[in-house]
Amino acid sequence: MRRFVLAPVFWLFPALAYAHSAAGAVSGFGAGFLHPITGVDHVLAMLAVGLWGAELEGKAIWMLPITFPLIMSLGAVAGILGVPMIAVEIGITASVIVLGSVIALNFRPNAGVATAIVGCFAIFHGYAHGAELPHQTSAFEFCTGFVVATGMLHLCGIGVGLVTHLPHGLKVLRSGGAAIATAGIVLAGRILLGN
Amino acid sequence: MRIGVKAGAALTAVLVLVAAEPAWAHMQFQSAVFYGGMLHAWITPDSALLLVALSAWASLATDAELLPYVTLTLGLTAGVAAGLLGPVPVFQPVAGVVTVAVGLLLATQTRLSRAGGVGVTLVAAVVAGLAAGADAAGDVKESALFMAGEAIGAFVFPLAISGALMDRQTRLVVLGLRIVGSWIAAIGLILFAFRLKQAL
């Protein structure tokens, strides 16, 4: 179990080597890979998806992290093609609050409902990644980067979520969910105040 | 028949070790062409995605046999040969659809019948071959060595991946395969949208 928890953390380390990589193919992938990681709202929401899957266990532990990238890719395509979408930032922030809250409240719907909830929010995250595609960057490589980074954040969430198997682990996990929801509320406040 | 795949995987490991032995800096041009062909489909993003998904998916087969790998080799080689001849109309959006389909099969851990599995493998391998063939550099296009390398790479690398995964279907490995399958399907979906936009 310890290896399972640590592995996703190590997978993130290659990002540190980007300073020494050649420009071109890697820069598109690297830019995409860093995109979800450098946004605190994305990071919190992705971790929450993994944490919730681990909390729910059963089918949810794999249904949530495999549904999210698929739905997110639809949002990304919409963003890249310039399809108009309203309230993207609000949708992303709402995902942080809602996903943090369901973890904190130990809300346990069936896997289908949980997947639907996560899928709705995935559209907003994907749209944001797609709409912020840097110019002169390969869209394919950029998208591959953010899909992989997103999945790794899910894996980190699942790994940390295995804390539920430890004594008082569920309390720790629910506290983490509350912290994520609180951070989401702060982010929402900043959006409402225009900061 | 499971023993056959295991033996094949062991043979693959030996072949890869042997192939890695020559120092690249001192190789003759023709050797470079051969090894370039061997790796080519695995470093071309469009085809690599498909091949990784197909190889991992093949590890789910309950009656392990070499037929999927032979099918993959024949399909990929035929696809590369066709791709070298020139661009195939409406191929690129199809490549996206096939990538999504194989990614989903892996993500949902779906096992098909023998005929269904061979059919999917053949179509996906041809598509991966077309992608790799279209991307090949001009100076190797007429090289039989390049094609031989492609064919050998198409056989040994999937066998190595499948062989490594076949007897290790633990909960963690299955979760990893599902997640990687969903990544591949998601990337395939984006690829499809782009290619469709370019085609229209």
* pLDDT at residue A144, as a whole number: 86
B128 versus A68: the higher-pLDDT residue is A68
User: B20: pLDDT confidence band, cut at 50, 70 and 90?
Assistant: low
Range name among A51-60, A166-175, B138-147 with the lowest pLDDT average: B138-147
**pLDDT tens for residues A104-113?**
999 999 999 9
Rounded average pLDDT over B125-129: 87
B179 versus A137: the higher-pLDDT residue is B179
Task: Report how far residue A60's alpha carbon sits from residue B175's, in angstroms, rounded to the nearest whole number.
Answer: 11
Give residue for tokens 């290790």. B168
* pLDDT at residue A46, as a whole number: 95
Task: Report how far residue A20's alpha carbon sits from residue B115's, in angstroms, rounded to the nearest whole number.
Answer: 47
Alpha carbon of B184: minimum distance to chain A alpha carbons (Å): 9
Task: Report how far residue B99's alpha carbon sits from residue B101's, in angstroms, rounded to the nearest whole number.
Answer: 5
What DSSP letter does each residue of B45-97 carry, written as one string? HHHHHHHHHHHHHHTT-SS--SHHHHHHHHHHHHHHHHHHH-PPTTHHHHHHH
Contact between chains at B186 and A139 (C-beta distance less than 8 A): no
Contact between chains at B179 and A66 (C-beta distance less than 8 A): yes
| ipTM, two decimals | 0.74
**B123, B75 Cβ separation under 8 angstroms:** yes
Alpha carbon of B1: minimum distance to chain A alpha carbons (Å): 31
* pLDDT at residue A58, as a whole number: 87
> Residues 7-66, chain A: which have Cβ within 8 Å of B?
61-62, 65-66
**pLDDT tens for residues A136-191?**
667 778 888 889 999 999 999 999 998 888 888 899 999 999 999 999 999 999 88
Alpha carbon of A130: minimum distance to chain B alpha carbons (Å): 10
* pLDDT at residue A174, as a whole number: 95
